[in-house]
Amino acid sequence: MKSEQTNAYTEFHADDPTLHLEYLYGPQWRDVAQIVERATQLTPDEREQLNAAAGNGLQDALSGNQGLAGLFAGLAGPAGDSQPAQIAAETAKEFGRSRHIQIAGSIAGQAVSPTSGPGADDVGGLLKSLTSIGALVTVNRAVTAAALGDLVGRGKFTREVYDALMRPWTDTIH
């Protein structure tokens, strides 16, 4: 009898896309999916604005003499900027959402990265991808905030932390 109940449940829910999205992104899946979908539609101007919004000098590091060391040093952001991301990571871990923000970040990265089409597998495609790192960081922070949106006010994950993660995205994408 239990086997029949399990099969009926599986058959009923197997085609429910909401169930799959909630499993991937958590209870705030609608907000995460909206950001990911919009990230797939970024124009070149929006990419540049998101790179600038990252506020971490990635473009300068790419075009200057700093090389990859300068580029990767800039990923943490300006002084104090990594604190909201750290608080979000700690909150995700505390409330069992680490997997949700990892998956959301991965999918957002695929949405932002130019990984398909002509030139995606050559050096030019790699360089084009590197010039989108600021956009990737900005989108990743936005999906992290979105995935944890229902936890605002719990512990150190305050409205200010949420806004700090989300603001570069919302200020750029209207």
Averaged pLDDT, 144-164: 95
Which tokens in the block code for residue 77?
Answer: 């952001």
**Residue of higher predicted confidence among 122 and 161:** 161
What is the pTM for the complete model shown?
A: 0.70
pLDDT of 48: 87
Map residue 66 onto helix, strand or coil. Answer: coil
Q: What is the pLDDT of residues 121-142, one digit of tens each?
A: 555 555 555 567 888 899 999 9
As a whole-number percent, the residues of the chain with pLDDT over 70 amount to: 61
| For residue 25, pLDDT beyond 50 | yes
∠143-125-70 over CA atoms, to 5°?
A: 70
Give the integer Cα–Cα distance in Å for 148 and 41.
Answer: 23
User: Do residues 26 and 100 make contact, with C-beta atoms less than 8 angstroms apart?
Assistant: yes
